[in-house]
Structure 1
Amino acid sequence: MGILNLFIVASNPVLKVLLVTAVGSFLALDRIDILGEDARKHINRVVFVVFGPALVASNLAKTITYETMIKLWFMPLNIFITFLIGSALGWMLIQITRPPSHLRGLILGCCAAGNMGFILIIIIPAVCREKGSPFGAPDVCSTYGLSYSSLSMAIGAVYLWSYVYNIVRVSSSKSTKGLDDSTSSSLEEPSKVLNGSCAEPLLSKDLPGLEIRADHFALPCTSSEATPQVPILVKFRQYLQKFSEKINLKSLFAPSTIAVMVGFFVGVVPQIRRLMIGESAPLRVIEDSAYLLGEGAIPTITLIMGGNLLRGLKGSDIQVSLIVGIIAVRYIALPLLGILIIKGALHFGLVHPDPLYMFILHLQFAVPPAMNIGTITQLFGAGERECSVIQLWAYGLASLSLTRWSTFFMWFVA
């Protein structure tokens, strides 16, 4: 198939995303005010709690089986590699540009987490339905493409909410803590003088002759202030509690992650699958209801993205070098490295030579930053405007980048 025909096949799905995004931007205009800031926050929560999990669970339950999981084992590893390489490149970008501390989690997240779900679920079925698609019969291509895209979305959601969520949370908490420390330092100094600890010497150790006997000038400590012996089991429990608070393990059980577990359980267990999946399933109404809710996720989140991009037009104080660096990481460095990685995996027999499957593996390295990063920044109130600017440029250039890389990948794997 000619390059021009492949270019047309690759460009149509991207244009659909751009049109829906433009509608979202129009609805967010001040004179329209349908998708204002408050409306977007509330709808974001609905997508986070209802629409997104329903889409993940329904698609996984319908398309993933035990056999397909064994066949597609390399995809979770491939997505992990994209996060790993993106994080390394994002760390290098931070070392070069030296951004403010509250933006470092956002930068790492944008470099590491790609749009593994919604973009693929929009693009892949549309590519399959295009006349002249290199992936065979449209029905077969759509079925397998939906299966691959659903697994990609599920694994990407787990990585996103377990990794990006936490680095943005830690980054925002550090910046807030630093601000609180700087504002309260003037109040803490007098309290140290007036309420000195019994461990603080009354005379300075800098005086000559007092280096060795400075502890003689300390206030006597009461027995209640002595450090008790803590059992090893209690220490281990305290360590686990501190680790849990630092990493926030609750984010691992976000609604999308729970939906992944439910979808895998329903799809893999044959008895449950027969009860819920299929025209003759007695409980098919449950899967149909979840699928109905899930269908609202893609247009809703694309509309929200359009509203967020409009906010990015107002600008922010973010460095231009950061935007250029993120664009270079996501649209140049990652796709090129992905070609080498997947070529090597195919050479060593880690990937079965299915053109559609390989196309999706390649595309996972070339997608723009995940749209849910905007939701995460809104949850913590850190870097919202900067995230809007980054996504404005990233998704504005995605029409060119995705079309170019999709055309090349279809030619490369066909």
Structure 2
Amino acid sequence: MFITHVYFWSVAMAMWNPDQFTVESFAAHPVVYELKENDQMKIVTIEPGRTMELKRASILAPLILLRDYTNDRTAERYVNGAFYERHLYENASLKASLLVKPQRRGHYHIVGLINSTHYIKPLRNQMDFMGRTRHVILEIPSSTGHICHNTINARSLLGEIFGFPRVKKQSGAHIIEASIISDYSHTKSLEMNSLDPLEYVMTYMHRVSLDFHQLKPSIKIMLTGYQTTLEENVEYVNFTSSGVLAAMETVVKLKNYVARTKSHRKADLVVLITACTIVATELKNTVMLGIACNNGICTEDKGILVKDAGARNSGVRTTTHEMAHTLGADHDGVGNSASCAADDGYIMTPIDAGKKRDEFSVCTKKVIATHLRKRRAPCLRRLTSRHISPLLPRAIVPFLEEK
């Protein structure tokens, strides 16, 4: 088995090229090879010439709180994070975040992001003559956008005191404890696509976490809670008269909801994911991809709003972008990142069409490194840390999409 391992390592290094995907979608019958000498790794051949090595990954807290929300009641339950993420694997260099789930007779279902441009899912009732499930590889939708020259100032009106620190995180590690909410449109989108909500959010947020590994010091994400929404009109969203989400108004409602909800209040960051169109009413209903509060992490302005259309992982880049805003980063070309041109196309360009959209610019890396040295950063080095939000203005930074 050792010889087989060496052989496939060579294939993975020599033959895999993520840029080979030049079509929007294609079908394949992946083969998974297990390594007896290392049960933390697998070799996956998508098709001849496309082989990669995967290693076990982690994104969930040891205990994760699952919530199903309605206006009348919220069902809650804690589950074992290690059990639910036991099939989660990654290839950090390819930005792959995958669930590799064993099936009968040694076959597998693979679901998640296969690289920066494509995702994979099984077609459960279609098999080849060998019993291997047919999978489809699809391009992640991308939106082109335009620069927003406006920022909307927000001010924290009160401080929050969380519980005393209980557990220190790993020495030197910065871990963002994130609580995720799928609004009604996103919850229904997952349901209509026959996707397990927690599994989808696991691969989605782990892919976001891989983007933050490039920072020094690196940042990891740990999901402490996930909430689905079973009614459309709930207390943490705000619709316009035309039935689309009002960005700023929704962020304000989300902030108030988080302040009243203990599980979200304990998190460093709360991410509200929607499949709805998001608009900035104060900017003549400009369509947006997301919105976040600058320097908002670990404060009462920790809530961010992002669009993930059709449960196709289209919101991954937006989530990374908005999270970087909460860590103090401005758009490239302005503010503390003025010396890095927006046209260079890094993650913090204010459009979703950059040539280097999986990389942070030098400016962003420096800004976030500086932020991590500030007094707020200890909240990212402790679990359920104590923090008092200062009465300081912060900018709401929108991420825009063309209509």
* Alignment TM class, shorter chain as reference: under 0.3
TM-score for both structures, normalised by structure 2: 0.22
Report 1 or 2 for greater relative contact order, CA contacts < 8 Å, sequence distance ≥ 6.
1
TM-score for both structures, normalised by structure 1: 0.22
Higher strand share: 2
Q: Radius of gyration: which is bigger? A: 1
